Amino acid sequence: MREHRDGEAPAEPKPSAPRSGALEKHVPHHYKSRFNRFGIDVKFNLIDRIEQISDDRIVAVKYVSLAEEYLADHFPTFPVLPGVMMLEALTQAAAWLLHRRSNFGKSIAVLKEARNVKYGNFVAPGNALRVEVDFFKATETGAVFKASGMVRETQALSARLELSYFNLAEKQPELAVLDQHLIDHTKARWTALNQGKEQRIQL
């Protein structure tokens, strides 16, 4: 530490980046990550393609492959996409819609509540889950969406989802730098996933 002379104000310490352990606990479960200079690795990306997108609606696809590790245990002799993963795919699609509506204004979009969740058809390897999410209403903390998943012409699940949308710095100002890194990371993922469809599809 540099000494300072009498009457001289001590130098302000430079802000340091938060430690990774302190950061992870603030990030929702589907953003749990390894932090390497704020490099964010999402554990499961359950949206593989966006077919349609507007401010009020998103249509996306999750392809199911036998290569996905969790299918080995669900179930060993009858592999199908777990219900929690199906619901997560709907949630991730709703999150993309929320990010687009707000022009990526906040860093975290996380499921607050799922209501009226109904499961129908199984989603087996080789099939695709077509996810359709419609904006229903805004809330004080985020938004509510009507969502469904289809396999061909058969409904696999439906639900009403409420998402919270916020910045970590709203409660802990020192995490503003992490908010910006998360937003930048989300924008990069969006660019890779969307592949120019914004210019071609205006619903």
CA pair distance 196, 45, nearest whole angstrom: 19
Q: Spot the catalytic one: 4, 26, 74, 185.
A: 74
Edge-to-edge strands, sheet with 154-166: 49-53, 57-63, 128-138, 142-151, 154-166, 108-119
Contact 97, 138 (CB under 8 A): no
Closest C-alpha among 33, 142, 125, 110 to residue 77: 125
Helices and strands (DSSP H and E) totals, the chain: 4, 6
Q: Is the peptide bond before 75 cis (omega within 30 degrees of 0)?
A: yes
74 flagged as catalytic: yes
CA pair distance 141, 112, nearest whole angstrom: 10
Give the residue numbers marked as catalytic: 74
